[in-house]
Structure 1
């Protein structure tokens, strides 16, 4: 459940413009022709075999592809000697951050293996990846899913437990065809790629470092907490169309699967919000998240929010999920204080928060309005990191007695 598959060109290293320049230099010398950038972008994310067979057809290379490939490779080597490998902004930091958080990682690139090895070494990321996989070792190139399915098989994981980071239309389509979650980087150097099938689209790895590193899978004895994807829309609609679920919230019951999909895009995805799923059957049963507390001007404070579908009330799931999220926040995310608010007559939430060891702060009278206009008093509890660590030490002491 903690497996990340990286594309290389355009995700780890900025190579596409250099490849394009090298190719045009070789073509100009050999046949007196060059290609425009729009034509070149069809090859981004595909293999060398597809690349040269298409050029042979369109440029009338008349069997010169082997010689031109050698010349192209030599030209790239010369450029790299002059310019070195330039990482995509934020890529080394992202890989190292994920490695620190215990993610298993592999590179699954359409490039030849010697190029993959060279790039990973040049970026100082050798020890971060378990496998380096070239598209030249599979039968069908991207957008076929072969390379990602092979990567999952090598790592002994299921496709649905993998997250792919891609920058090309071919790569995104391959990831989704493999049944994997896909994060697409909108990289200007990769041309106008169609990334719409991706689950999440980001504009910069550096800016989104916390967002991506925050896609941590958390597990308890009975639950798995994972990022939401658009594939969750039908199940989310089934849960959130129940009026009882939204009775004590500020959102109205969902009226269509499309509305649930919109909520996924605008509220749940790309934030520190986890889908709560049962471990034994992976059934979606609710959501839990951390967000900025609008009542505190403190960048190190977070507000805890959660909900469960009605069939799963009273089974201890909310407490179980909240405990592991609070541990993640205090131990890994640098959070110094977690607050939580509940409507004054919501005794279920009150019991959950008390089981977390949260301290009573106060009651705000007539402070909150539900989606249908009802007004409630709001009760606030909170817990600091210092209190969390003390509670952990006390619990450990009791265990050792």
Structure 2
């Protein structure tokens, strides 16, 4: 009877899937900061540490504009917005000093490990599409190498010569999808994101996107996401035609 009830539950979820218009996908692309890792919090600490020297505040409203940009784009915007007496190179150097101290403390976000391991177990093709630099990526993932090794394809946007523009442009998602051996079409890909810029980029790439936003993000700003969740723990793979979790 347990098997019957499980099949019935999956069937009901698929009815919801059909009603909501989610498309079946075959490949998944993950953002990293604020989605797999809690590194967005650490990034905010790092930038605030720098701005505090000049009596400036790093607000969440401004932070949202930076999320998904390339490293040099972020540095330039921070300098201009806060009128800092620094060059882009100096800002990046100061940031890296902060990152060196803070990023090794990155921890996994709820549900991330379980979801990635589930996809890996069922041979769902996965990729990482992050606008981090290679320097910061290595620091953030140092404690979690086994998990990130399951993401066979990795696009480290701020250090990748093919990625000319950060999010909200679709470049990183299109480039990453093209790196799968079977080169799936955009509509076959599902993106997991936490940032508004990332959602815009995924939609511009022609992909569906599951958003797990910071609770401070205005609800109206999440409207373009295919599905909005409070945590990856709540994700139901079968809604997008992916293997369901077993109980």
User: Which interval holds the TM-score relative to the shorter structure?
Assistant: 0.7 to 0.9
Matched, 1:18 2:72: no
Give distance in 2, aligned partners of 1:164 and 1:116.
19
1:119 shift after superposition: 3.4
SS state at 1:187 partner: coil
Unpaired runs of 5+ in structure 1?
218-327, 335-401
For 1:36-65, what per-residue CA distance to the aligned partner results, in whole angstroms no more than 9, with x for missing partners?
Answer: 222222112222122111122222234433
Give distance in 2, aligned partners of 1:214 and 1:204.
16
Matched, 1:104 2:125: yes
Give distance in 2, aligned partners of 1:86 and 1:6.
16
Query: TM-score by structure 2 length?
Result: 0.79
- Kindly tell me the number of residue pairs found equivalent between the two proteins: 216
Equivalent residue for 1:46, pick from 69, 76, 81: 69
Query: TM-score by structure 1 length?
Result: 0.50
Is the contact between residue 164 and residue 180 of structure 1 (CA under 8 Å) also seen in structure 2? Answer: yes
**Which residue in the other structure is 1:204 paired with?**
231
Give distance in 1, aligned partners of 2:100 and 2:34.
18
For 1:303-353, what per-residue CA distance to the aligned partner results, in whole angstroms no more than 9, with x for missing partners?
Answer: xxxxxxxxxxxxxxxxxxxxxxxxx78xx745xxxxxxxxxxxxxxxxxxx
**Which residue in the other structure is 1:173 paired with?**
200
SS state at 2:222 partner: coil
Equivalent residue for 2:109, pick from 82, 88, 98: 88
Query: Higher helix proportion, which one?
Result: 2
Unpaired runs of 5+ in structure 2?
1-24
**Which residue in the other structure is 1:28 paired with?**
52
**Which residue in the other structure is 2:11 paired with?**
none
CA-based RMSD of the aligned residues comes to 2.2
1:180 shift after superposition: 0.7
**Which residue in the other structure is 1:159 paired with?**
186
Give distance in 1, aligned partners of 2:67 and 2:165.
15
Matched, 1:139 2:186: no
- Where relative contact order (Cα < 8 A, 6+ residues apart) is larger, the structure is 2
